[in-house]
Copies of this chain bind each other. A is one copy, B any other.
Amino acid sequence: MLWTIIGAAAATLTMFSFVPQIFRSLRTRSVKDVSPVTLFQLSTGVFLWMIYGISQKDPIIIVANAITLITLSVLIFLYFRYGRLVK
């Protein structure tokens, strides 16, 4: 039971970990210190995790990575939107 709670807390924290970055980027309208390689590498990895979850029929892996992928997509959108403004 304790481990289930720890696992759930871990999943929740990591799943939504890019939400503060989204709000910061929206507020400052600047993304020049954010690595686009990190954003794309992580998105590709998270997408493959989602595919892996589908193959294993594991709803937790699917949902957790789908949410992360959505937040990363928003961040990539902001990266290109604000990246052009800065340069």
List residues of chain A with CB under 8 Å of any chain B CB. 3, 6-7, 9-21, 23-25, 28, 30-35, 37-38, 41-42, 44-46, 48-49, 51-52, 55-56
Contact = CB atoms under 8 A, between A and B. Distances in A.
Question: DSSP class of A's interface residues: helix, strand, loop or mixed?
Answer: helix
B46 A14 contact: yes
A9 B48 contact: yes
A14 B56 contact: no
A72 to B, nearest CB: 10
Nearest to A51: B6
Given A13-B42, A13-B45, A14-B42, A35 B52 contact: no
B14 A45 contact: yes
